Amino acid sequence: MDTQELVARFLPLVKKHWLPLSLGALGMILFAYGLIGLFASSKSASEDIVFETNTGHSETKTIFIDIEGGVVRPGLYELPLSSRIQDGLIVAGGLSAMADREYIAKNLNLATRLTDGAKIYIPRVGEADSIKSITSIKGSSQVLTGQININLATEQELDILPGIGPVTAQKIIAGRPYNSVDELLSKKVVGSKVFSDIKDKITVY
């Protein structure tokens, strides 16, 4: 039986029953679509949903400050970026019994914002004469608003000066007494660059 005979035989039946056949075909299509959707939803339901933490901006920026002098726990501390001098004193355990509280109350601004690498020296009782003021902070360095007596200052006090570390501070102490600040150069205690940076911040009287 060729194609033309098949068409001639079944075409009248198709024309006669086209509505049921169309509905049946449509039902088969919808059924197949439903099966596909069922399998897809089952697969997705079996998979874990993972929430990834965005760590791009989660790190808290910090600064390091050096707190010395009349505090309970002097040393180097790491603090949040927006910290103030008050926060620095808190982590250092607060003022020690030897701290010059009257001087601090008059000269220390606890609201001053700290910067990375800042050094704070809290004077003890009797030290305020040699440290006129060490609490003003500008930019990333500490600004001395008075002069330090190189004949009387302690290692910690000398360490506040720019370019002076513990080793150089000990050299300054070992070279005492000084009749003038220029003797730091003549005795080769410091170099010309360091001396240029500190000469206006020091005194021998």
Within a domain: residue 41? no
Within a domain: residue 16? no
188 and 115 inside one domain: no
Residue 65 belongs to domain spanning: 60-146
Give 136's pLDDT tier (boundaries 50, 70, 90). very low
CA distance 73 to 124: 14
Average pLDDT of the segment spanning 64-69: 88
For the segment 150-182, what is each residue's pLDDT rounded down to a tens digit?
988 888 888 888 889 899 999 999 998 898 899
Exposed (0-12), middle (13-18) or buried (19+): which is 57, by Cβ within 10 Å?
A: exposed
Q: Look at residue 1 and tell me whether its pLDDT is greater than 60.
A: no
Within a domain: residue 175? yes
User: Which of 12-26, 48-62, 95-109 has the highest mean predicted lDDT (pLDDT)?
Assistant: 95-109
Read off φ and ψ for residue 5, nearest 5 degrees: -65, -40
Within a domain: residue 44? no
**pTM of this prediction exceeds 0.75:** no
Q: Look at residue 119 and tell me whether its pLDDT is greater than 60.
A: yes
127 and 183 inside one domain: no
Exposure string over 4-43, b if 16+ CB within 10 A, otherwise e: eeeeeeeeeeeeeeeeeeeeeeeeeeeeeeeeeeeeeeee
